[in-house]
Amino acid sequence: MSGNTFGKLFTVTTFGESHGLALGAIVDGCPPGMALTEADLQLDLDRRKPGTSRHTTQRREADQVKILSGVFEGKTTGTPIGLLIENTDQRSKDYGKIQEQFRPAHADYTYQQKYGIRDHRGGGRSSARETAMRVAAGAIAKKYLFETHGITVRGYLSQLGPIKVEKLNWDEVERNPFFCPDPDKVSEMEAYMDALRKEGDSIGARIEVVAEGVPPGLGEPVFDRLDAEIAHAMMSINAVKGVEVGAGFASVEQKGSEHRDEMSEAGFLSNHAGGILGGISSGQAITVSMALKPTSSLRLPGQSVDIKGEACEIITTGRHDPCVGIRATPIAEAMLALVLMDHLLRHRGQNVDVKQTTPIIPPNVV
């Protein structure tokens, strides 16, 4: 229990069920004096919110966030920031059948086993709706990281089922409903998703997130390594089944002479490490990749059991994302920002003026 807090110095604690009255978060440890308004959070919330294209769930949520504390006359005060989003579109009757049955591959079963009771409406606490608060909290971290250290955190969809992107055009990412960075793949993705919707099936995806401008020195070995905390953060996102840093699983077949990022006076010569060595940021770009499984709520009938353990056939109606990966990019960005923010503060505790520490070599790949 009490697993709803993330971070050590910059902490985020969340609450809220899919069809409850509201979602909320407390962001504790934000340094004082930063300008902050609700609009700063709304931008990322709007990127994540459902119903913005035909390819995501048709649930309509304004996801309008309110800042209830911790900001005075437009600036953070160092005290905890209370955030609230009221749920407005709760068509709970859609979920009537699910009360007694378990969707295969869904948390329905394990919540029932763990707690002996569950709010079955829309997945309750296990719904990805919870991630709205991560995005809101992450926006605070992103703003601080950028304004005080020039650190940027951004992501994109690199694969939608069988379709792999081939170009990385950052401007394109915000122009299509998939966060796809390759303009040549967008219409293929649209056609794929349209066909999928007709089938009543769902599909997996792969997301990449990249942080640039991260100073060397963040991460606290041996257990709170930066990459370990990133893995924790990413795997805590609904549907994520795998996480890689840098070369990731490709390292298995690499020789040391190939994998190692050689160094020159002008900078590193490659970045297989993904910006982290020995659990500490090297100054290079931090690159993270993750796999998201296909949604478990399908219109295609499946074998399952009910709450008594008796066999049943299950069909999920209601409004669901056929590919949860599509809306996951802002969530993954938020989680990476939260990890970096927490570790920036932890590193500073050591009396290291992060801004003054000069990197021995430039962070760029020559």
Query: How far, in Å, CA of 119 to CA of 26, rounded?
Result: 23
Name the residue nearer to a second copy (CB basis): 198 or 249. Answer: 249
Site size with a second copy, rule: CB under 8 A: 163
Closest to a second copy by CB, 142 or 206: 206
Half-sphere exposure of 129 (CA within 13 A, CB side): 32
Output 13 or 169, the one with its CB closest to a second copy. 13
> Per CB under 8 A, which of residues 108..147 are in contact with a second copy?
109-119, 124-126, 130
Look at residue 214 and give its three-state secondary structure.
coil
Query: 12: which strand partners?
Result: 6, 27
The most distant pair of C-alpha atoms in the chain lies apart, rounded to whole Å, by 67
CA torsion angle 157 159 160 166 (round to 10) = 100
Residues 160-199 that bind a second copy (CB under 8 A): 161-162, 196
Residue span 231-260 as binding mask against a second copy, x where in contact by CB under 8 A, dash where not: xxxxxx-x-xxxxxxxxxxxxxxxxxxxxx
Rounded Cα distance between 253 and 95, Å, is 47
Subset of 208-227 contacting a second copy (CB under 8 A): 216-217, 219-225, 227
CB of 233 to a second copy, least distance (A): 8
Q: Would you give the binding string for a second copy spanning residues 333-362, x where CB under 8 A is met?
A: ------------xxxxxxxxx---x-xxx-
Contact, 100 vs 72, CB < 8 A?
A: no
Tokens 């996801």, located at residue: 63
Residue numbers 270-309 binding a second copy by CB under 8 A: 272-274, 276-283, 291-298, 300, 302-305, 307-309
Q: Give residues 35-54 in contact with a second copy (rule: CB under 8 A).
A: none
Residue 45 and residue 137: Cα distance in Å, rounded? 10
Shortest Cβ 208–a second copy spacing (Å) = 12
Strand-pair category, 152-160 with 163-164: antiparallel
Q: Residue 361 — φ and ψ, nearest 5°?
A: -130, 160
**18 appears as a binding residue in the annotation:** no
Token pair belonging to 58? 């048709």
- When the beta carbons of 171 and 265 are compared against a second copy, the nearer one is 265
Q: Is 1 in the site for a second copy (CB under 8 A)?
A: yes
- Residue 185, annotated as binding a ligand: no
Summarize the annotated binding site for NADP(+) as residue ranges.
Answer: 48, 54
